[in-house]
């Protein structure tokens, strides 16, 4: 598959999960779902793009997420702090993925639980698939989790 195709599919899945996650959490806590939505969107589409993507060789280009292009439109090259970004990234992704999953279990909407589990699995598998070829792999925290 091409990187552009990968990026389009990846972002469609992320946006669908943002919508689905908001719907799921809304069914549990109503307007308080904004306490998940706003930080998730901020972390994934702003904070991590500034602190990670502005240091990437794919800055201004399409990687498997397409976020190098997004980062180039939002920030100058090397605008963020890579060390800070790589520490926040696992926490941001756990926050994004786990809270709606727990909410689906709490409300007993098993169809939503399965949809969320499939979407989460896709994102994690794609991350590790690209991680093996990533030019920043030696600097990244994922390196230790993959065994090299």
**pLDDT confidence tier of residue 144, bands split at 50, 70 and 90:** low
The shares of helix, strand and coil residues in the chain, as percent rounded to the nearest 5, are 80, 0, 20
Arithmetic mean of pLDDT, 109-128: 91
Grouping H, G, I as helix, E, B as strand and the rest as coil, residue 103 is helix
pLDDT of residue 148: 46
CB 66 within 8 A of CB 11: yes
CA distance 83 to 88: 9
Arithmetic mean of pLDDT, 87-104: 94
Q: What distance, in Å, lies between the first and last C-alpha atoms of the chain?
A: 25
CA distance 20 to 26: 10
DSSP-assigned letter for residue 148? -
Query: Is 0.85 surpassed by the pTM of this model?
Result: yes
**pLDDT confidence tier of residue 91, bands split at 50, 70 and 90:** very high
pLDDT of residue 110 exceeding 60: yes
């Amino acid at each position: 598959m091409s990187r552009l195709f990968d990026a389009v599919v990846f972002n469609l899945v992320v946006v669908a999960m943002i919508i689905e996650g908001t719907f799921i959490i809304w069914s549990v806590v109503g307007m308080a779902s904004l306490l998940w939505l706003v930080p998730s969107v901020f972390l994934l589409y702003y904070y991590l793009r500034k602190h990670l993507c502005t240091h990437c060789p794919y800055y201004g280009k399409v990687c498997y997420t397409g976020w190098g292009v997004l980062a180039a439109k939002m920030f100058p090259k090397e605008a963020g702090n890579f060390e800070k970004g790589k520490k926040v990234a696992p926490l941001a992704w756990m926050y994004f993925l786990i809270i709606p999953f727990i909410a689906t279990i709490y409300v007993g909407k098993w169809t939503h639980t399965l949809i969320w589990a499939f979407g989460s699995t896709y994102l994690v598998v794609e991350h590790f698939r690209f991680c093996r070829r990533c030019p920043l792999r030696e600097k990244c925290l994922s390196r230790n989790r993959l065994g090299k």
